[in-house]
Amino acid sequence: MSTPALHEPASKPLDIAWVRAQFPSLQLQVNGQPAAFLDGPAGTQVPKQVMDAIQGYLLNANANTCGAFVTSRRNDATIVSARAAMADFFHCEKDEVVFGQNMTTITFALARAIGRELKPGDEIVVTTLDHDANVAPWRALEEKGVVIRQVDIREADCTLDLEDLKRKITAKTKLVAIGYASNAVGTINPVAEITRLAHDAGALMFIDAVHYAPHGPIDVRVLDCDFLVCSPYKFFGPHMGTLYGKKEHLGRFRPYKVRPAADSVPECWETGTQVQELIAGIYAAVEYLAELGRRCDRTARGRREALLAAYRSTAAYERVLVAKLIVGLLAIPGLQFFGITDATRFSDRCSTVSFRLPKGTPTAAAVFLGDRGIFTWDGNFYALNLTERLGVEKSGGVLRVGLVHYNTVEEVDRLLTALNAFCAS
Ligand SMILES: Cc1ncc(COP(=O)(O)O)c(C=O)c1O
């Protein structure tokens, strides 16, 4: 496993009552039933700290950057604090953190900038397991003659075919683009090992950590990747994207930018005016996780240590939930499950699962559940290569359930009861 910190014993179990009290939207009722937010992979709920920070920004710091007056100075300070928070989150330097609209926009911009340096015949490796936002931006470089090599999966457990990966990384490879975890089936990829393979071949390593970020700690120093992206709205923050880039690369590649904008790194990568009120929210999301960590481990000193403590507790908690969920799903006769089911291999998966029921389409099941206040997703979730490879794309894809640390055992039970009712209806 590439992230040892995830598997150390948590000092204290997660205080689920405290966690849920931080998220006001969890109180929502649907048709007289409490809402069960099992839709985390498409975006998580936010704690009130994030709401307060966004409101606080709009009240006290709402201005553009680098002005000679108080609200502009506060705005600049907000961005500096958020960069420092994300640097702790990634475990990097502050000037290695770039903010952007979302992961997709950031990745297209980065791919375009890297593409400036590539020549026909250069190769980029992508995978069948990935979200299309980590495929299409690289495929767009085919227009320049760049060759895309796509790594297959092992269908039995929806893990990457590492032998195929090794065959496809060659001396021609310039960049390897891999997801940290699959947003469709929850597989966690051995990204540290793959980074070594990429570097041995002289290629850059780009990691899409969007799906992994709510489930485990990211350490770009340990991974040694060149770029890593994630989206705060998947880890309890607002709708934005963030990029980690090694300083040498952020300085070396040339982003497309307007002339008067800063040439300094990382600002030169942040095109136009950012959604600064949401940057305030990103800071608060990281602080929320750190607060959770300090509650789980009172010995955690700095923010980075507190974040690691938080993830130790949330990962252990999510492991219990997903184990119960998978046992319950596999007990439904005729259910088709995609991904790892063996509990001894749960360190290679996170708490996101996809399946098809013996009757009805994934959409029909999602509507049935939604009417009962249980929020799940149906379809391909933009993991289009995967649903095509699994042969389910034309028949509605899969039904996805995503558990995060504010979900409960009771919600898993409710879901299983409702799924059995759907199958019996
Ligand atoms: C694994 C993964 N990568 C990339 C994306 C795209 O992220 P964004 O919405 O920030 O562009 C998503 C969104 O669902 C995702 O789950």
Report residue 134's pLDDT band, with 50, 70 and 90 as the boundaries: very high
**What value does the mean pLDDT of the chain take?**
96
Measure 178 CA to ligand 1 centroid, in angstroms: 13
Distance CA 187, CA 179 (A): 9
Cis peptide bond upstream of 266, omega within 30:
yes
Residues in the chain: 425
Alpha carbon of 208 to ligand 1 centroid (Å): 8
Residue 363: Cβ-neighbour burial (10 angstroms; 0-12, 13-18, 19+): middle
What is the whole-number distance in angstroms between the Cα of residue 207 and the centre of ligand 1? 12
Residues within a 6 A CB radius of ligand 1? 41-42, 102-104, 131, 133-134, 179, 183, 208, 210-211, 231, 241
Ligand 1 atom having least distance to the Cα of 43: 14
Average of per-residue pLDDT across 174-198: 98
Q: What is the DSSP string of 346-394?
A: GGGB-SEEEEE-SSS-HHHHHHHHHHTTEE-EEE-TT-HHHHHHTT-GG
What residue owns the CA closest to ligand 1's atom 7? 103
Q: Which of 132, 129, 136, 174 is nearest to 152 (CA)?
A: 129
**Residue of 208, 210, 229 best suited for mutating to test ligand 1, as the one with most atoms within 8 Å of CB:** 210
Residue 168 pLDDT: 98
pLDDT confidence bin for 1, thresholds 50/70/90:
very low
Q: Is the pLDDT of residue 6 over 60?
A: no
Q: Cβ of 273: how many Cβ atoms within 10 Å?
A: 8
- If you measure from the C-alpha of residue 133 to the centroid of ligand 1, how many angstroms do you get, rounded to a whole number? 6
pLDDT digits (tens, 9 = 90+) for 16-60: 999 999 999 999 999 999 999 999 999 999 999 999 999 999 999
User: Given this model, what pLDDT does residue 4 score?
Assistant: 46
- Rounded to whole angstroms, the Cα distance separating 149 from 77 reads 43
Quickly state the pLDDT bin for 12 (edges 50, 70, 90): confident
Residue 26 pLDDT:
98
Ligand 1 centroid – CA 67 distance (Å): 34
- Residue whose CB lies within 8 A of the most ligand 1 atoms, among 126, 180, 183, for a mutation test: 183
Q: How far is the CA of 336 from the centre of ligand 1 (A)?
A: 25
- Shortest-distance atom of ligand 1 to CA 179: 1
pLDDT in tens, 344-378: 999 999 999 999 999 999 999 999 999 999 999 99
Output the pLDDT for position 295: 95
Sign, CA torsion 128/131/137/143 = positive
Give the helix/strand (H/E) hosting 37. Answer: strand 36-37
d(CA 100, CA 263): 16
Q: How confident is the model at residue 2 (pLDDT cuts 50, 70, 90)?
A: very low
Supply the pTM of this predicted model.
0.96
Q: Report CA(300)–ligand 1 centroid distance (Å).
A: 31
The predicted-structure confidence for 56-78, as pLDDT tens digits, reads as follows 999 999 999 999 999 999 999 99
Q: Whose CA is nearest to atom 13 of ligand 1?
A: 42
R_g of the chain, CA atoms, integer Å: 21
Atom of ligand 1 nearest to the CA of 105: 11
Best residue for ligand 1 mutational test, from 234, 354, 400 (most atoms within 8 Å of Cβ)? 234
Helix axis angle for 48-60 and 70-90, nearest 10°, is: 150
| Cis peptide, bond prior to residue 358, ω within 30 of zero | no
CA–centroid distance, 405 to ligand 1, in Å, is 19
Q: CB-hemisphere CA count at 13 Å for 275? A: 13
Residue range 212-220: mean pLDDT, rounded: 98
What percent of the chain is predicted at pLDDT more than 70? 98
Report the separation in Å between the CA atom of 102 and the middle of ligand 1, taken as the mean of its atom positions: 8
CA-proximal residue: ligand 1, atom 14 (nearest): 42
Angle in degrees, CA 354, 355, 359, rounded to 5: 150
